[in-house]
């Protein structure tokens, strides 16, 4: 009987430990702020990011990198987080600038930066049900096979399967080089290409 009690107690403790571990897991997200042309500066975003970093631990968020297009007023933030609401709470408390969208993403493999070129984030919106991480991985391989022809260096990509959104980060001489690489590699053209600066 004592042994049975010990086994039951062990099972309960193991179950509680597993639940706690699952509750503590984080996912990868990209949250997007469309603040409008003329409303964003690199310095302003860097200051807001510093406030996020000072607040993130409270909500279990870890901001990894961000990209800003000052011309369009767009900011993309990459983070790990338990859930989207924790990201919203962090931004709300840190500076009050809430994202327009938050995408749960899977990441490709990061390549090394070569430097000396502009940085671009190109965004594909293919629609719900039209994207799988496996298919994007295959398309990315085709990009890598073609990129040198156009002087492009794809650094990574992120996929949101639910909404069919893909974001590709690259170094390139100009946005047209990014578009032409995609066109020749697989024909899936981005909805728009942003010239960005990266912060972390």
Residue spans per domain, the chain: 27-104, 107-199
Question: What's the confidence (pLDDT) of residue 20?
Answer: 32
- Residues in CB range of 190: below 8 A, 6 or more apart: 122, 123, 124, 168, 178, 179, 182
CA distance 3 to 145: 62
| pTM listed for this prediction | 0.86
**pLDDT value of position 10:** 31
pLDDT at residue 24 in the model: 56
Which CA distances in Å does 134 have to 131, 139, 140, 161?
9, 9, 10, 10
Judge if 27-104 and 107-199 fold alike in CATH terms: yes
- Count Cβ neighbours within 10 Å for each residue of 94-133 and write b for 16 or more, e otherwise: bbeeebeebbbbeebeeeeeeeebebbbbbbeeeeeebeb
Instruction: Please write the tens of the pLDDT for every residue from 107-122.
Output: 999 999 999 899 999 9
CATH code for the domain defined by 107-199: 3.30.70.3090
**What integer pLDDT is reported at residue 116 of this predicted model?**
86
pLDDT score for 3 = 37
Which parts of the chain sit beneath pLDDT 50? 1-23
The confidence score (pLDDT) of residue 18 equals: 33
* Triad 19, 24, 165: Cα angle to 5°: 115
Q: How much is the pLDDT for 74? A: 98
Fold of 27-104: Alpha-Beta Plaits (3.30.70)
């Amino acid at each position: 009987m004592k042994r049975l009690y010990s086994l039951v107690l062990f099972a309960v403790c193991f179950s509680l430990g597993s639940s706690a571990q699952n509750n503590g897991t984080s996912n990868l997200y990209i949250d997007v702020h469309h603040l409008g042309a003329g409303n964003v500066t690199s310095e302003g975003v860097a200051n807001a990011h510093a406030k996020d970093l000072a607040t993130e631990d409270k909500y279990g968020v870890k901001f990894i990198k961000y990209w800003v297009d000052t011309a369009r007023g767009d900011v993309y933030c990459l983070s790990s987080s338990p859930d989207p609401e924790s990201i919203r709470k962090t931004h709300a408390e840190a500076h009050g600038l809430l994202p327009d969208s938050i995408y749960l993403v899977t990441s490709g493999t990061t390549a090394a930066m070569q430097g000396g070129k502009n940085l671009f984030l190109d965004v594909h919106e293919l629609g719900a049900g039209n994207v799988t991480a496996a298919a994007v991985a295959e398309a990315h391989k085709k990009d890598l096979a073609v990129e040198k022809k156009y002087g492009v260096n794809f650094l990574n990509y992120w996929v949101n399967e639910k909404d069919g959104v893909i974001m590709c980060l690259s170094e390139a001489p100009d946005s047209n080089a990014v578009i032409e690489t995609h066109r020749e590699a697989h024909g899936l053209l981005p909805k728009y290409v942003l010239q960005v600066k990266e912060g972390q």
